Structure 1
Amino acid sequence: MAKRITEILVDDIDGTEIAAGAGGTVKFSFEGVNYEIDLTDEHVKEMREALSPYLVVARKTGNTPRSASRASARVGTGGTSNVKAMRTWLRAQGLEVSDRGRIPAALIAQYETAH
């Protein structure tokens, strides 16, 4: 027995079915929040026209959103793999270091110099 599953993309504005190869999902960011919306070609055009006066004068930051997994993989360790040991050593030296998050570069440098 064969199954055929059909996914139908509909416009989030008016519920119109979006034909294959037309319109689609538009991704954008505003005030630090990422959004996506499914639109027909007509609504994509309207959105571009509405945003055009702002985009023409806006500065591109060159930054792309990072996934949570990539961001968490590089949390302030300076390449040091044993963050727990680093925090323990820094505290033993009388230095203040948080339980979570990024360890300041100056503290990482002290740890790496000592080890």
Structure 2
Amino acid sequence: MAQTTRILLTDDLDGSEATQTVTFAVDGITYEIDLSDEHAAQLRESVAVYVDRARKLRGSAIKKRTASRPASRKPAGDKTDTQQVRAWAKEHGIEVSERGRLSNDLIVRFQEATS
């Protein structure tokens, strides 16, 4: 017995039939919205003035800009003793693996607590 599966898109603005899914990003957050051709054209027209003047980011450039917040980065050239960080974390009830890389957030917390 054969089966056919159909996926019907619904326009997220007005509930009518959508014909496409549009992906866009603002402030490092990527969004998707299902739209009819008419609404998709309206969206593209409304951002066109910004797109025309913007720089395109590709691949690693996007990751570098969105990978982590500056406040959670450890200082460049920092030589924090990972065994001290692990010992401090255990003393304070923070689960940490015996091996592997420590999160920047944990290192910053250790530095703030021991400074």
Structure 2 length-normalised TM: 0.51
Aligned partner of 1:96 in structure 2 is 81
Tell me whether 1:43 sits opposite 2:28 in the alignment.
no
Distance (Å, rounded) in 2 between the aligned partners of 1:11 and 1:96: 54
Tell me whether 1:24 sits opposite 2:26 in the alignment.
no
7 and 100 in structure 1: CA distance in 2 versus 1, 3 angstrom threshold: same
CA deviations over 1:4-35 (Å, ceiling 9, x no partner): 332111111111113xxxx3111111101111
Aligned partner of 2:9 in structure 1 is 9
Structure 1 length-normalised TM: 0.51
> Which residue identity does 1:36 align to in structure 2?
E
Moved segments of 4+, more than 3 Å: 63-66
95 and 101 in structure 1: CA distance in 2 versus 1, 3 angstrom threshold: closer
Higher percent of residues as helix: 2
3 and 96 in structure 1: CA distance in 2 versus 1, 3 angstrom threshold: same
Distance (Å, rounded) in 2 between the aligned partners of 1:31 and 1:95: 32
What are the within-5 Å matches in structure 2 for residues 77-96 of structure 1? 95-96=80-81
> Which residue identity does 2:81 align to in structure 1?
E
> Which 5+ residue runs of structure 2 have no aligned equivalent?
68-78, 86-100, 105-115
